[in-house]
Amino acid sequence: MKLFLFILINLININIYHYQNNDQLYVKIIPLFDNNPIQLSKANKDSISIETLKFYLTDFCLIKSGEVVWKEVNSYHLIDISKPTSLDIFFTNEVKVDFDEIQFLLGTDSLTNVSGAIGGDLDPTKGMYWAWNSGYINFKLEGKQNSKPFQFHIGGYASPYPTVQKIRLKTKKNLNIAFNVADFLNQLNLVNQNKIMSPGKEAQELSEILSSLFYINEKE
Amino acid sequence: MKRNNVIIILGLFSFFGLAMNLTFKPTPIKIEYPSSWPKPVYNFDNNPLTQEGIDLGRKLFYDPILSIDGSISCSNCHLSYTAFTHVDHPLSHGVNDSIGIRNSPALMNLAWHNSFMWDGAVNHLDVQALAPISHPAEMDEDINNIIRKLIGHSTYRESFYKAFQDSTITGEHLLKAISQFELTLISCNSKYDSVMLKTQVFSMQEERGYELFKKDCSSCHAEPFFTNNQFENNGLPINPILLDLGRYNITKKKTDSLKFKVPTLRNIEFSYPYMHDGRFKSISEVLNHYTNNIKVSNTLSNKLKSEIKLTSNQKVDLTAFLLTLTDKKFLFNKDFSFPLDKYYPDVEKKKKTD
């Protein structure tokens, strides 16, 4: 019996060891409010508190001298700051390539939006699907400023207002990708613009702003 | 001793390992339809039909567990004996007797639809059910809550395992099961279909009606589905209370104002009341609309710009043709009705032995 336990524990150990030790490539997403990590439902500067921050990052690929050298298959990741594990994106297979850029989409492409029910991070139970105007919510940000609520549900795949945005960042190794929510809110006037719940021109404009805010975090 | 134990335990492990690999294999099902029909739009590769999946979908379709207070199932608004529409109610009724804004459409041949709802708000059959589930005037329920209820239910986990080889109930599988049942709702056995297969002939009157139909109606109600799956303004004056602008609500394009999806006319005898708001109770009211009451507006379909003229005899002929679209085999198909045996297996077993 002891021998069996011994084997079992060793098996588990080997697994954990294996998981941590191989130089598996992973992306770390760092959502910030100004220069600080976001604390949910706590007032930050300007009496702004964030209650929900969820968005899709999809279609990850690595680029060397302008050419795609690696692409993740089935690349769909729902980032949800209430679930810290979702901030670390592990690629399932080992990646051993030289690269000088990383590319991904903020949001989901149009094919994904017309493909019916999908599982995993795209499952409609994730709260990122519009029931009354089919399609994914690509980016969801909810919170309060001075106890006045704001709600940004940004999505829409159909022309002329698709909201999926391609992001391409220069980096040779560091895959810590930061994103500053304050930079987004500062570009809006929350008094007048505090709610969007459907696709359209405004959603597209906001998605453009959002995509410009991702950067490689040099600090870590 | 120790070593024996290890062997036994290792043996057990490999046994369970094997048992897990020899998973239950569901029974594949292929839908049947006339060879002259085009290929379905629905991609069955992403959701292969199985008897277990269809059975599960049917059970869900009839189960009020999908609504917040357990009072309403899909079948409340979509009754099998009336081509899956809600007779006698111009606007659908949901939980707490709330009244929706639209007439529930008949459900059939959904595998050939490329959009759903009167305004095309839904782009795929799988995700259609999310709309009634979450609509406050319909079932007013949240999908995560439904899944919690299904997990707590005595039989659903097993049914999901049989259908999808996964006893974890996911939103994806819930929706795909409902789709599987809906995809089997195929109406292709009307008199019209037999005439097309040359196994039956129209009466003189029906034949005259068919000719009128092809001249005045089939540009939108195109054969063999009796819809072109497009959005058209067929000249109905706007409903002054609902102020429903149809397709415009989705696309926000002025040119889509007052356009609604062309509904199928199969089983039209049973799917009254008619139009998106159920404003007409009879086929004769519909025909009077097309001949006398077309409201001209910017988005009126070009196909209705020249007047439709029908004498009263011609209206009778046209109606006779429309009645050939009734498919009794579809309406009274036992595989589509309330699955008594799924809910009360003991009662059914007893009946058989009695």
Per residue in A43-99, pLDDT (tens digit) is 777 788 999 999 999 999 999 999 999 999 999 999 999 999 999 998 866 678 889
Among B187, B214, B246, give the residue marking a domain's end.
B187
CB contact under 8 A, A116 and B171: no
Instruction: Domain of residue A112: give its range.
Output: 27-216
Mean pLDDT score across all residues of chain B: 88
What's residue B68's pLDDT?
A: 81
Chain segment B23-81, per-residue pLDDT in tens:
688 999 999 999 999 999 999 999 999 999 999 999 999 999 988 888 889 998 898 87
Statement to judge: residues B35 and B60 lie in one domain = yes
B29 to chain A, any CB pair closer than 8 A? The answer is no
Statement to judge: residues B160 and B227 lie in one domain = no
Task: Answer whether residue A62 is part of any domain.
Answer: yes
Task: Answer whether residue A22 is part of any domain.
Answer: no
The yes-or-no verdict on residue A9 having pLDDT over 60 is no
What's residue B86's pLDDT?
A: 74
Statement to judge: residues B201 and B164 lie in one domain = no
Task: Answer whether residue B104 is part of any domain.
Answer: yes
Among B130, B161, B187, give the residue marking a domain's end.
B187
In the predicted model, what is the mean pLDDT of residues A27-39? 90
The yes-or-no verdict on residue A23 having pLDDT over 70 is no
Q: Report ipTM (2 d.p.).
A: 0.83
Task: Answer whether residue B14 is part of any domain.
Answer: no
**Chain B closest-CA separation from residue A130 CA (Å):** 8
CB contact under 8 A, A117 and B134: no
**Chain A closest-CA separation from residue B173 CA (Å):** 8
Task: Answer whether residue B2 is part of any domain.
Answer: no
Statement to judge: residues B165 and B309 lie in one domain = no
Name which of B46, B130, B143 is nearest A115 (Cβ-Cβ). B46
Q: Pick the residue of B10, B123, B142, B250 with the most A CBs within 10 A to test the interface with A by mutation.
A: B123
Task: Answer whether residue B235 is part of any domain.
Answer: yes
The yes-or-no verdict on residue B16 having pLDDT over 60 is no
Statement to judge: residues B206 and B171 lie in one domain = no
**Chain B closest-CA separation from residue A25 CA (Å):** 29
What's residue A15's pLDDT?
A: 47
Chain segment B141-155, per-residue pLDDT in tens:
789 999 999 999 989
CB contact under 8 A, B175 and A124: yes
What's residue A110's pLDDT?
A: 96
CB contact under 8 A, A124 and B179: no
Statement to judge: residues B33 and B166 lie in one domain = yes
Q: Pick the residue of A1, A6, A125, A126 with the most B CBs within 10 A to test the interface with B by mutation.
A: A125
The yes-or-no verdict on residue B13 having pLDDT over 90 is no
What's residue A193's pLDDT?
A: 85
pLDDT interval class at B21 (50, 70, 90): very low
In the predicted model, what is the mean pLDDT of residues B270-275? 93
The yes-or-no verdict on residue B184 having pLDDT over 90 is yes
CB-side neighbour CA atoms (13 Å) of B18: 6
What's residue B167's pLDDT?
A: 86
Chain segment B216-227, per-residue pLDDT in tens:
999 999 999 999
Task: Answer whether residue A205 is part of any domain.
Answer: yes
What's residue B346's pLDDT?
A: 59
Secondary structure (3-state) at A121: helix
Q: Please, are residues A59 and A75 in contact by the beta-carbon 8 Å criterion?
A: yes
A71 phi and psi angles, rounded to 5 deg: -140, 130
pLDDT interval class at B98 (50, 70, 90): low
Task: Answer whether residue B176 is part of any domain.
Answer: yes
What are the Cα distances from residue A138, in Å, to A59, A74, A105, A106? 13, 17, 10, 7
Chain segment B306-325, per-residue pLDDT in tens:
999 999 999 999 999 999 99
Statement to judge: residues B171 and B314 lie in one domain = no
Q: What would the DSSP string read from start to end of B18-71? A: HHHHS-----B------TTSPPPSS-GGGS--BHHHHHHHHHHHT-GGGSTTS-
Find the closest chain A residue to B125 by CA distance: A116
Task: Answer whether residue B341 is part of any domain.
Answer: no
The yes-or-no verdict on residue A21 having pLDDT over 60 is no
A contacts of B173 (beta carbons < 8 Å): 119
A contacts of B46 (beta carbons < 8 Å): 115-116
What's residue B4's pLDDT?
A: 63
CB contact under 8 A, B127 and A133: no
B5 to chain A, any CB pair closer than 8 A? The answer is yes
**Chain B closest-CA separation from residue A16 CA (Å):** 21
Task: Answer whether residue A68 is part of any domain.
Answer: yes
The yes-or-no verdict on residue B133 having pLDDT over 60 is yes
Name which of B6, B170, B175 is nearest A4 (Cβ-Cβ). B6
End-to-end CA distance of chain B: 56
CB contact under 8 A, A114 and B126: no
Statement to judge: residues B54 and B183 lie in one domain = yes
What's residue B112's pLDDT?
A: 97
pLDDT interval class at A16 (50, 70, 90): very low
pLDDT interval class at B139 (50, 70, 90): low
CB contact under 8 A, B134 and A131: yes
B126 phi and psi angles, rounded to 5 deg: -55, -40
| Residue A169 burial (CB count, 10 A) | 15
Q: Pick the residue of A74, A108, A112, A132 with the most B CBs within 10 A to test the interface with B by mutation.
A: A132
CB contact under 8 A, B134 and A133: no
In the predicted model, what is the mean pLDDT of residues A32-46? 83
The total number of structural domains in chain A stands at: 1
Q: Pick the residue of B172, B179, B251, B255 with the most A CBs within 10 A to test the interface with A by mutation.
A: B172
Find the closest chain B residue to A132 by CA distance: B131
Task: Answer whether residue A13 is part of any domain.
Answer: no
What's residue A146's pLDDT?
A: 85
Instruction: Domain of residue B319: give its range.
Output: 191-326
The total number of structural domains in chain B stands at: 2
A-B contacts at Cβ under 8 angstroms: 78
What's residue B162's pLDDT?
A: 94
B130 to chain A, any CB pair closer than 8 A? The answer is yes
The yes-or-no verdict on residue B232 having pLDDT over 80 is yes
Chain segment A167-202, per-residue pLDDT in tens:
999 998 888 999 999 999 988 887 788 899 889 999
What's residue A19's pLDDT?
A: 46
Statement to judge: residues B211 and B130 lie in one domain = no
Q: Pick the residue of A74, A118, A134 with the most B CBs within 10 A to test the interface with B by mutation.
A: A134
Chain segment A115-156, per-residue pLDDT in tens:
999 999 999 999 999 988 899 999 999 999 888 899 999 999
Q: Please, are residues B144 and A156 in contact by the beta-carbon 8 Å criterion?
A: no
CB contact under 8 A, B124 and A124: no
Q: What is the CATH number of the domain that holds B200?
A: 1.10.760.10
CB contact under 8 A, A124 and B130: yes
pTM of the model: 0.89
B contacts of A119 (beta carbons < 8 Å): 170-173
Q: How far apart are CA A152 and CA A165, in angstroms?
A: 16
Secondary structure (3-state) at B132: helix
Task: Answer whether residue B4 is part of any domain.
Answer: no
B contacts of A162 (beta carbons < 8 Å): none
Q: How far apart are CA A3 and CA B15, in angstroms?
A: 20
Q: Comparing B231 with B91, which gets the higher pLDDT?
A: B231
The yes-or-no verdict on residue B84 having pLDDT over 50 is yes
Q: Please, are residues A44 and A36 in contact by the beta-carbon 8 Å criterion?
A: yes
What are the Cα distances from residue A90, in Å, to A25, A49, A85, A119? 7, 29, 10, 18
B contacts of A135 (beta carbons < 8 Å): 123
Task: Answer whether residue B157 is part of any domain.
Answer: yes
CB contact under 8 A, A124 and B133: no
The yes-or-no verdict on residue B251 having pLDDT over 50 is yes
Q: Range with the lowest mean pLDDT among A92-106, A149-163, B114-128? A: A92-106
A5 to chain B, any CB pair closer than 8 A? The answer is no
A8 to chain B, any CB pair closer than 8 A? The answer is no
